[in-house]
Amino acid sequence: MAHEVSPVLLIGGAGTVGSHAVRILRQLHPHLPLAIGGRNQTRADALAAEVGKAGFVSIDLTRADLGLPKAARYSAVAIFLKDDRLNAMRYAQQHGLPFICLSSSTFEIALEVAQFIHAPRSAPIYLASHWLAGASLMPALLLAQDYQHIDAIHLAVLVDELDLGGPAAHIDYERIIGNAASTLVLKDGEFTWISGDQAKATVVGVDGVAQEANAYAPFDILSLGAATNARNIRLDLVVGESASRRRGEPFSTEIQIRIDGELESGRRARKVLQLVHPVGQAPLTGLGVALAVERLLGLGGQDLVEPGLYMPELLIDPAYYVRRMEEFGAAFTQHKIAG
C-alpha cells in the first residue's frame, strides 16, 4: 500500500546525482511520496513540480534535528553529499529509518561504521560508497558467478573530465585525493595499501585508446573482497576523454570489468564486460540510490530489512540490478577470451 508510506527524504535530491535518483524513483514507483531536501528551494520546487507527489524540505546539516519540524515523518533517508557531522545518519537512526549514503572513500568508512556501532539496532544502514553506487560492483558480481576460483578482478572506470559532477562530487574528490595517502587493493590475497608508481596504471578505453589511470578505492574493493574468493582486486580510475567524445559526441561514462580465473566447468578463462552510459555517471549513481530505496522499503514486495550494516550486494540481486542498468540506458558488451 505504497500510498500510505511517508515520504522518502532525499538530502541533496535536487543536485546532479540526486535529481536522477528522484526521476528514476518516480518512474519506478509513481505513488511513492518524495521529500527533496536541500538549501536551494527554486531548483527543488521545479523538480518536485516535474515529478509530482514531491516537495521541497529545507535541511540544515549543522543541526542535530536537521532543522526539521518535530512532527515531520519520513520512511527513509538518503544523502547525496558528505555529511561531516553525521547528523543525517544520527537523525535516521533516532527515527528508526533506513539510511543510504554514498559519498565516502574507503579510508573514511570508520565514521559511518562507528555511528552504526553506537546504535546497531536502530535502523538499516546501506553503505553505497561504491563506484557510482554499485554500477561496477553489481555487474562484476554477476560476471564472477561464472567462476569457481578467481585469480583477479580488475575494474577500469572512466569518468570524462567534463562529467565530474556537481559541487558535492567536487568536494568529495578534493577531500579524498587531499587526504588519502594511499589506495587499497587486494594483492595475492592480502589487502594492501599502495601509492606512488604502484598506483599508476594505463587503461585501454572501450575504443582501444590508452589513457593514464590511478588506482582508486571506492567500496568495490571491500565488497568484492568479502563476496568472492578473488586473490587480486583492483580498480583503476581514468579521468580523461570518453570514447564518445573522441567521436565528436557528448561525453559518456565507461566501466570495464575483467575477470581471470577458473570457470565452473574447470576451464580457465578471461571474461571482459564493458558498459557505457551515454549520459555520464550521474544516472547510474542515481539508479543505485533508487534501487536501494526500493529494496529498503520493500517496494518490490520483499521482506523489510532488519537493522544492520549493509552494502548493495547484501540486499539486491546483481542480475536484477544489471537489468535495471540496461533499462535505464547502460549499454553492455561482453567478450570471452579463453585462456
Partner 1 sequence: MNAALDRPVLLLGGYGSLGSRIARTLRQLHPQLPLAIAGRSREKAQALASALGNAEVLAVDLKRADLGLAGGDRFSAVVMAVRDRSLNSLRYAQAAGIPYLALSDAPFELGPVVALHAHHARRNAVVLLGHAIGGVPTLAAMYYARDFATVDAIDVGLIFDPDDPFGPMSAIDMEHIAKDGPPPLVLQRGLWRWGAGEKSGRIISGVDGSRHRAEAVGLLDVLSLASIAPHGSLRVDVAQGRTRRKEHSQLPSHEIVIEISGRTWDGKDERRRHELIDYEGHAALSAKGISVVIERVLGLNGGAAPKPGLYFPESLIEPTQLMARLEVWKRVAS
In the complex, the residues that contact partner 1 under the rule CB under 8 A are 64, 84-87, 90, 106-111, 113-118, 120, 179-182, 184, 189-193, 195, 219, 221-223, 225-227, 308-311, 314
Q: Considering the complex, state which of residue 93 and residue 253 has its C-beta at the smaller distance from partner 1.
A: 93
Min dist. Cβ of residue 29 to partner 1 (A): 27
Name residues whose C-beta falls within 8 Å of residue 126's C-beta, 6 or more positions apart in sequence: 98, 99, 100, 101, 292, 296, 310, 311, 312, 315
- Min CB(20)–partner 1 separation in Å: 26
> Least separation, in Å, of the C-beta of 170 and partner 1?
18
Report the nearest approach of partner 1 to the CB of residue 137 (Å): 11
Quote the CA–CA distance of 17 and 5 in Å, as a whole number: 24
Coil, helix or strand at residue 261? strand
Q: Which is nearer to partner 1, 34 or 224 (CB)?
A: 224
Of residues 52 and 189, the one with the C-beta less far from partner 1: 189
Contacts of 251 (CB under 8 A, 6+ apart): 160, 162, 163, 242, 244, 245, 280
Residues facing residue 192 across a β-bridge: 185
The dihedral through the CA atoms of 253, 136, 101, 107 has a sign that is: negative
Length of the chain: 339
How near is the Cβ of 241 to partner 1 at its closest, in Å?
A: 30
Give 272-298 as a DSSP string.
EEEEEETT-HHHHHHHHHHHHHHHHTT
Q: Which is nearer to partner 1, 71 or 181 (CB)?
A: 181
- CB-wise, 72 or 227, nearer to partner 1? 227
CB nearer to partner 1: pick between 85 and 336: 85
- The 8-class DSSP code of residue 23 comes to H
Task: Write down the least CB distance from residue 242 to partner 1, Å.
Answer: 29
Contact yes or no for 57/68 (Cβ under 8 A): yes
Q: How far apart are CA 74 and CA 5, in angstroms?
A: 8
